[in-house]
């Protein structure tokens, strides 16, 4: 039967003063007259973010959570054009190694979801270049942690730019400008407004990219409402990956604000999906995208423990029976 492992995104609602996303804007940076001092301050913020990241991983391990999305804002201004030449990894090697060792020791799955400004199908060369540099930063961080970067960065296809079909073709064209190491790190996710599951499958199958199925996004935006008909194709996109299939789960905030994420997960909606895929894969890793972060995971598990159609494995994993 299918094993389901739950994870959550980037921050904890229970662990106090643990933000891994503390930042400094370039405006703030530029107001510091001594540039060397300004860079040192950036490095202190980055070390604090990474220390909090390690605290979060320890919090997760204490609660049997082995699936987690790292913040993409660990190092402020890492790729800013005015700081070109800044070797931001050098002063962070020790803490990055410590994080990587902890992840390896406890057999955790971690990944990133770079921000929405990563647009590989942009018609503008400068945006494409910046997007590739940003993805490259994520790959560098993973390698510095000693983690295989393959299938660790989830992105959306990008913008429609007033012509969806042309935008899909441009993604394929721009793909040749993405270094192979970065290509291997990428997973594509169907979105809730522009590129639905059918579009995403088209690209994933053509380019050999694993597809992260977002169930909530599909309910909000689809070509074929019956996603079950395409599930086997989704599974096949993961055939060359060493990682279990990944999907996203969230629930609508309300009928009126259907696309917005709710604080918690609707167990009924979640199990509608799980019952449909039961037995089709050995394991599926489900990333919870809910406003209440780890609390949403704990809340969902409390509901799941009351069910008679699961076998509890630990505090964040269960087997469908």
The structural domains of the chain, ordered by start, are: 9-240 (3.20.20.150)
Residue 303's pLDDT band, with cuts at 50, 70 and 90, is very high
| Mean predicted lDDT score pLDDT of the chain | 97
| Percent of the residues in the chain that have a pLDDT greater than 70, as a whole number | 100
pLDDT of 116 strictly over 90: no
CB 237 within 8 A of CB 205: yes
Gap between the Cα atoms of 255 and 43, Å rounded: 44
CB 171 within 8 A of CB 161: no
> What's the rounded mean pLDDT across residues 244-250?
98
**Would you state the pLDDT for residue 46?**
97
**Would you state the pLDDT for residue 115?**
87
**Would you state the pLDDT for residue 44?**
97
Gap between the Cα atoms of 152 and 100, Å rounded: 14
> What's the rounded mean pLDDT across residues 70-79?
95
Residue 31's pLDDT band, with cuts at 50, 70 and 90, is very high
Residue 208's pLDDT band, with cuts at 50, 70 and 90, is very high
> What's the rounded mean pLDDT across residues 250-269?
97
**Would you state the pLDDT for residue 81?**
87
pLDDT of 84 strictly over 90: no
> What's the rounded mean pLDDT across residues 128-157?
97
pLDDT of 66 strictly over 90: yes
**Would you state the pLDDT for residue 79?**
87
CB proximity list for 239: less than 8 A, separation 6 or greater: none
> What's the rounded mean pLDDT across residues 108-112?
98
Residue 188's pLDDT band, with cuts at 50, 70 and 90, is very high
| Percent of the residues in the chain that have a pLDDT greater than 90, as a whole number | 96
Convert 73-91 to b/e letters by CB count within 10 Å (16 or more is b). Answer: bbbbbbeeeebeebebbee
Tokens 């799955």 locate to 109
CB proximity list for 209: less than 8 A, separation 6 or greater: 183, 186, 187, 188, 203, 237
> What's the rounded mean pLDDT across residues 168-196?
98
Tokens 């990682």 locate to 243
**Would you state the pLDDT for residue 224?**
87
**Would you state the pLDDT for residue 225?**
87
Give residue 136's Cα distance to chain centre.
Answer: 15
């Amino acid at each position: 039967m299918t094993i389901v492992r739950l994870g959550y995104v980037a921050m904890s609602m229970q662990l106090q003063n643990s933000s891994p996303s503390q930042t400094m804007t370039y405006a703030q940076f530029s107001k510091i007259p001594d540039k060397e001092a300004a860079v040192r301050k950036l490095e202190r913020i980055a070390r604090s973010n990474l220390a909090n990241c390690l605290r979060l991983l320890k919090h997760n391990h204490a609660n049997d959570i082995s699936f987690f999305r790292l913040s993409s804002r660990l190092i402020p201004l890492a790729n800013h054009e005015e700081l070109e030449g800044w070797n931001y990894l050098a002063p962070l090697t020790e803490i990055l190694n410590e994080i990587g060792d902890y992840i390896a020791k406890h057999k955790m799955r971690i990944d990133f979801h770079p921000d929405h400004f990563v647009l590989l199908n942009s018609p503008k060369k400068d945006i494409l270049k910046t997007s590739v540099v940003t993805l490259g930063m994520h790959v560098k961080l993973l390698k510095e942690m000693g983690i295989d970067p393959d299938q660790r960065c989830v992105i959306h296809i990008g913008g429609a730019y007033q012509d969806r079909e042309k935008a899909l073709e441009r993604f394929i064209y721009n793909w040749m400008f993405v270094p192979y190491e970065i290509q291997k790190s990428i997973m594509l996710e169907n979105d809730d407004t522009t590129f639905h599951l059918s579009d995403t499958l088209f690209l994933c199958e053509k380019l050999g990219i694993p597809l992260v199925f977002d169930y909530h996004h599909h309910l909000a935006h689809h070509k074929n409402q019956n996603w079950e008909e395409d599930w086997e194709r989704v599974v096949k996109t993961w055939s060359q990956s060493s990682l279990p299939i990944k999907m996203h789960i969230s629930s609508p905030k309300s009928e009126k604000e259907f696309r917005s994420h709710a604080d918690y997960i609707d167990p009924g909606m979640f199990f509608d999906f799980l019952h449909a895929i039961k037995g089709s894969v050995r394991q599926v890793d489900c990333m919870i995208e809910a406003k209440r972060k780890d609390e949403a995971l704990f809340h969902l598990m409390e509901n799941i423990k009351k069910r008679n159609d699961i076998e509890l494995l630990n505090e964040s994993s269960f087997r469908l029976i």
